[in-house]
Amino acid sequence: MLVVVVGPMFAGKTTELIRRVERQVIAGRRAIVFKPSLDARYDASKVAAHNGLKFDAYVVPPDETGVEAIYKLGFEYDVVAVDEIQFFPPSLAEVLDALASHRVVIAAGLNLDFRGEPFETTMRAMAYADKVVSLTAVCKTCGRPATRTQRLIDGRPAPRDSPRILIGGGETYEARCRRHHLVPK
């Protein structure tokens, strides 16, 4: 079974991934959690949610080498979880699908970048998923459900030509609803 948890930043994706893994561990299943090496915001060796929740992780590079490691090591466990899937190459989606044939696979990641454009790896994983859990955050502007991630530079929306990937937290990003998500040209 493949479960893909998606949404904007601050929606609780990592918290949901950890919750689901912990339930599997309580049920007596052996689990491994992977995270990309470039995400060391809160803890370099654990998946870590913005709310402080953490879980031990196997850190892999966010490239084909990391995808291969997930594939090889994943077959040794009953449960395989991967956080921040948007940072991995699209080939990760096929690996998650293959692993899901005989084990529980839980993946979490952003569905859209700061421009509001889909991440290909997340989209592909969603297509293979047995279940997609789409979470929302709270818009920092109006309080409505937020489905977008707003990148800020000096408190203002980042321009469209900014780099697609920039690791950060509350100092760099906000959750926004569709109405208040802005991408200057």
Locate all alpha helices (DSSP H) within 113-171, ordered by sequence. Answer: 120-128
Q: Are 2-136 and 138-176 the same fold in CATH? A: no
For the segment 113-127, what is each residue's pLDDT rounded down to a tens digit? Answer: 999 999 999 999 999
Averaged pLDDT for residues 123-139: 98
Exposure class string for 66-101: b at 16+ Cβ within 10 A, else e: bbebbbeebeebebbbbbbbbbbeeebbebbbebbe
Asked if residues 133 and 16 have their Cβ atoms less than 8 Å apart, the reply is: yes
Would you state the pLDDT for residue 170?
Answer: 80
Average pLDDT, rounded, for the chain: 94
Domain 2-136 has CATH 3.40.50.300: yes
Extents of the domains making up the chain:
2-136, 138-176
Please tell me which residue in 16, 22, 68, 84 is annotated as part of the active site: 84
Whole-angstrom distance, CA of residue 114 vs CA of residue 173: 9
Name the fold adopted by 138-176: Wheat Germ Agglutinin (Isolectin 2); domain 1 (3.30.60)
Please confirm, yes or no, whether 84 is among the known catalytic residues.
yes
For the segment 63-102, what is each residue's pLDDT rounded down to a tens digit? Answer: 999 999 999 999 999 999 999 999 999 999 999 999 999 9
